[in-house]
A and B are shown apart, each in its own frame.
Chain A
Amino acid sequence: MDAVKALAEQKNWEAAHQWFQAIPLMHRGVDLGDMMTYDVLRVLGRLTQADLQQKETADAEQQADPAA
Chain B
Amino acid sequence: MPNNKPILLLSGGGNQQSLWTELARDYTLAFLYPQAAQLAREMGCVEVISLDEMAHTNDVVEEVANSSAKLTSQIVTRLPDVLQTFKSIYADAGPAALDGQLNNWWAGYCLHHIQAALTRLEAMNQLTKQPIPIAGCVTHEDVAPDTRSLVSWAKAQGIPTIHLPHAACHLLPGSGTDIHRETRTDFIAASGLYMQNWYVGNGFDRKRIEIVGAPQWDGLYGEQLPGRTEARDVLHRDPNRLVLCYAATWGQTTSIRGEADREIDDGLAEMFKVAKDLDADLIIKIHPNDAQPADQYYAQALQLAKLNGLVTRWHTHYILRAADVVIAQGPSNLCVEAAILGTPSCYIPTEGFDFANDWSLPFHGADLHESVTRALASRGDPVWQDFIGYYNAGHPDGNASERALNYIRSIAQVKEPV
Contacts and interface: CB of A to CB of B under 8 A. Distances in A.
Interface of A: 1, 5-6, 8-15, 18-25, 27-32, 34-39, 41-52
Given A12-B256, A41-B255, A27 B121 contact: yes
Interface of B: 67, 71, 74-75, 78, 81-82, 84-86, 89-90, 93-98, 109-110, 113-114, 117-118, 121-122, 124-125, 143-145, 148-149, 152-153, 156-157, 175-177, 179, 182, 253-257, 260, 351-352
Given A11-B89, A27-B71, A31-B152, A39 B113 contact: yes
Given A35-B149, A44-B98, 12 more contacts: A1-B176, A1-B257, A5-B256, A11-B94, A12-B255, A28-B124, A28-B125, A29-B152, A43-B109, A47-B98, A48-B256, A51-B96
B156 A28 contact: yes
B85 A18 contact: yes
B85 A1 contact: no
A6 B118 CA distance: 34
Contact of A21 (B85, B121, B144, B255): B85
B121 A46 contact: no
Contacts of A28: 121-122, 124-125, 153, 156
Contacts of A38: 143-145, 148, 179, 254
Nearest to B84: A22
A50 B179 CA distance: 21
B81 A41 contact: no
B152 A35 contact: yes
B179 A37 contact: yes
B96 to A, nearest CB: 8
B256 A45 contact: yes
28 contacts: A1-B257, A1-B351, A9-B176, A10-B177, A15-B85, A15-B86, A15-B89, A15-B94, A18-B89, A19-B82, A22-B82, A22-B84, A22-B85, A23-B74, A23-B75, A24-B74, A29-B156, A30-B153, A32-B114, A32-B117, A34-B152, A35-B149, A38-B254, A41-B179, A41-B254, A41-B255, A46-B253, A49-B256
B178 to A, nearest CB: 8
Nearest to A51: B95
A11 B177 CA distance: 10
Does more than half of chain B's interface fall in helix, strand or loop, or is it mixed?
Answer: helix
B283 to A, nearest CB: 30
A22 B74 CA distance: 10
Does more than half of chain A's interface fall in helix, strand or loop, or is it mixed?
Answer: helix
A26 to B, nearest CB: 9
A30 B351 CA distance: 34
A51 B86 CA distance: 16
3 smallest beta-carbon distances between A and B, as pairs: A29-B156, A47-B95, A22-B81
Contact of A9 (B67, B177, B253): B177
A29 B117 CA distance: 13
Contacts of B182: 37
A19 B106 CA distance: 11
A18 B260 CA distance: 26
B254 A42 contact: yes
B351 A22 contact: no
Contacts of B78: 22-23
A55 B149 CA distance: 37
Contacts of B98: 15, 44, 47
A27 B89 CA distance: 27
A49 to B, nearest CB: 6
Contact of A23 (B81, B113, B125): B81
B81 A49 contact: no
B149 A10 contact: no
A30 B256 contact: no
A9 B94 contact: no
Contact of B86 (A19, A23, A35, A43): A19
A51 to B, nearest CB: 5
Given A32-B114, A47-B97, A23 B82 contact: yes
A36 B352 contact: no
A22 B75 CA distance: 9
Nearest to A44: B95
